[in-house]
A = this chain, B = another copy of it.
Amino acid sequence: MSGRRTSINDVAKAAGVAIKTVSRVLNNEPNVREETRAQVLAAVKRLNYHPSLSARSLASRRSYLVGLVYDNPSANYTIEVQRGALARCREAKFLLLLHEVAGRSEEVIQDILTFANQTHLDGLIVAPPLSESAELIRALDAQALPFVRIAPNEIKHRSPYVDIDDEAAAREMTEYLIGLGHRSIGFIIGRPGHFASGERLRGYKAALKNHKIPYVPEYVRQGDFLFDSGLEMTRQLLALPKRPTAIFAGNDDMAAGALMAAHEMGVAVPQQLSVAGFDDAAIARTVWPPLTTICQPTYQLAYRAADLLLEMLLSSSTPKPARLAHTLVRRDSTAVAPNGRVK
């Protein structure tokens, strides 16, 4: 670290061209002779030159900074989101800044706006459940800050988003259980207000209907996406006179709670009770038995979200939303229903 860092001037001198030409090569602009381009690249390599982000940023009135805001629902989920967004940003030579928020909605919004203003963010990626906040969307709109939402709810807004088909996924899982011979299937709903909670419930209902299985209200319980609610609701479901032979929880944390309730009450999983989750979070593989669940392509969702944002920033267009595929992962927590006939 002695003396000056090497700059575009050094490269220009070494390659025998003007700095504008170096700039063209570095930014993959057209109208450079192939030979000239090669000379410049050779000089870049020889001098181990790395362009200065601050200079570029200052001159182009663009920060090359993208923010990722999240209200950490679970560490594993968040890490995957970070990975996906980071990967795409790195490719485009943008920097990703993380910003975790928590607390009341009003403060959270102010917090995010302050973050965006202080860092002069070019754009923002909004992870769920923040992506479901109508107030936040409105506030970002008012700032004219480009943003992309991951798995948002039904809020109508022209900004792009990426998601999966929660209803279809829940329908598939329910039909998978039906296929195993289950006819009494409990369902634990996710936190009220989350769009995904409602969609998953809708998928459960649709599957029952498709198979002409009556909907039993007492089999459907309200949880909140947390372990404890899965535990408590399963205790209630298993205490029912005619208890369900399968329980489908709105996410893996609640499914893990369901497993614990079964252990407590001496109900064998999967022999006497099948349990299914949603998300394929890390907990799905650390509980016993490992959970049958729906795998969301979290990394891909975040990668794609970053991709859409960069497209907005670089071409100032408004890209179309993207819907990605989920998969049903079969593990050991589900099995043929006791006395059940497999279809």
Known A50-B117, A54-B58, A58-B58; further 14 A-B contacts with Cβ < 8 A: A50-B120, A52-B120, A53-B54, A53-B63, A53-B119, A54-B54, A54-B63, A95-B97, A96-B98, A97-B97, A98-B98, A253-B286, A260-B288, A263-B263
A256 to B77 Cα, complex, angstroms: 21
Selected contact of A54 from candidates B5, B57, B79, CB within 8 Å: B57
A58 to B58 Cα, complex, angstroms: 8
Residues A282 and B75 in contact, CB atoms below 8 Å apart: yes
A121 to B96 Cα, complex, angstroms: 14
Tell me which residues across on chain B come within 8 A of A286, comparing CB atoms: 227, 253, 256, 283, 286-287
Asked if A333 is at the interface (CB within 8 A of a chain B CB), the reply is: no
A70 vs chain B, min Cβ distance (A): 10
Q: Digitize A1-36: 1 where CB-to-B-CB distance is under 8 Å, 0 elsewhere.
A: 100010000000000000000000000000000000
A282 to B57 Cα, complex, angstroms: 40
Asked if A55 is at the interface (CB within 8 A of a chain B CB), the reply is: yes
Given known contacts A75-B75, A75-B76, A58 and B52 CB-to-CB distance under 8 angstroms: yes
Count how many chain A residues have C-beta atoms less than 8 Å from C-beta atoms of the other chain.
42
Asked if A311 is at the interface (CB within 8 A of a chain B CB), the reply is: no
Tell me which residues across on chain B come within 8 A of A287, comparing CB atoms: 286
Show the binding face of A for B, using Cβ within 8 Å.
1, 5, 48, 50, 52-55, 57-58, 61, 63, 65, 72, 75-76, 78-79, 82-83, 86, 93, 95-98, 100, 117-120, 144, 227, 253, 256, 260, 263, 282-283, 286-288
Tell me which residues across on chain B come within 8 A of A76, comparing CB atoms: 75-76
Tell me which residues across on chain B come within 8 A of A253, comparing CB atoms: 286
Given known contacts A78-B75, A119-B95, A263 and B282 CB-to-CB distance under 8 angstroms: no
Tell me which residues across on chain B come within 8 A of A117, comparing CB atoms: 48, 50
Selected contact of A118 from candidates B50, B78, B79, B83, CB within 8 Å: B50
